[in-house]
Structure 1
């Protein structure tokens, strides 16, 4: 019984491992979340994966990009005028989570996708991360 449980657990954890998502082609939305509850997405999220985009002026968008570039627990992988892709490292266990931000200048909002690379669930870490970003942006001058 113990062996079955161990093999099942290892299989589930391995199956739930993902790699970094590809940046969207210009003009396209962020990639949808997968079938596991370890992702939130303001463009393609459904049900528990859905989250509201972040309201931001162009000045706030630039301030957000600058802030993330200087965070010790974030590694910015791709930065473009209206897109940023980064890896956030969780403080306790050092898990790597992927974050994509796409700025829609006409709507003055940041669409966000935050997903865990490891595990079936995220214990609310991705949603909390987006809310941290939202709080930071709202504290910036418009």
Structure 2
């Protein structure tokens, strides 16, 4: 009798834990879909600064923890932009959602939990560089994913001799 009660209690506890996990996961996973994202884009010639959390990198006016170098190019700005768009088209789980002559905004999703990162590129008319910013929408640590993504994009562009 005691074993039966213990098994029922364990099964009940497992059910509660799994229900809580799935409920929490569904709420977290739905946040990127409906969350309003502010602070994106170029304002007065600059991409937005990173928040205090370590899950962001930016190439303009950044503190040492968030700083990343811009990507220089040696072709025309239009060519650099087109090559960048081609590179982004092969970055896994990444989709360009906005683009102008000088700005590109893409969304990059994590493989398992589908967390969304905003990935931005700014090509100012007066510089031969691509400024960049990549930031997680939620959470604190990204285990360096945003920085690695941008460095991989940098390497791809370097291989294409921009």
Describe the shift of the 1:71–1:93 C-alpha distance in structure 2 as closer, same or farther (beyond 3 A): same
Which 4+ residue blocks in structure 1 deviate beyond 6 angstroms?
Answer: none
What TM-score comes out, normalization by structure 1 length?
0.78
Q: Which shows bigger deviation, 38-47 or 99-108?
A: 99-108
RMSD value, Cα: 2.3
Q: Does residue 40 of the first structure (1) align with residue 57 of the second (2)?
A: yes
- The match for 2:69 among 31, 34, 52 is 52
Specify the alignment match of 1:31 in structure 2.
Answer: 48
Distance in 2, matches of 1:117 and 1:76, equals: 16
Specify the alignment match of 2:111 in structure 1.
Answer: 91
- Gap runs ≥5 in structure 1: 1-9
- Gap runs ≥5 in structure 2: 1-23
Distance in 2, matches of 1:61 and 1:136, equals: 13
Bigger Cα Rg = 2
Q: Which shows bigger deviation, 30-39 or 101-110?
A: 101-110
- The match for 1:124 among 129, 144, 152 is 144
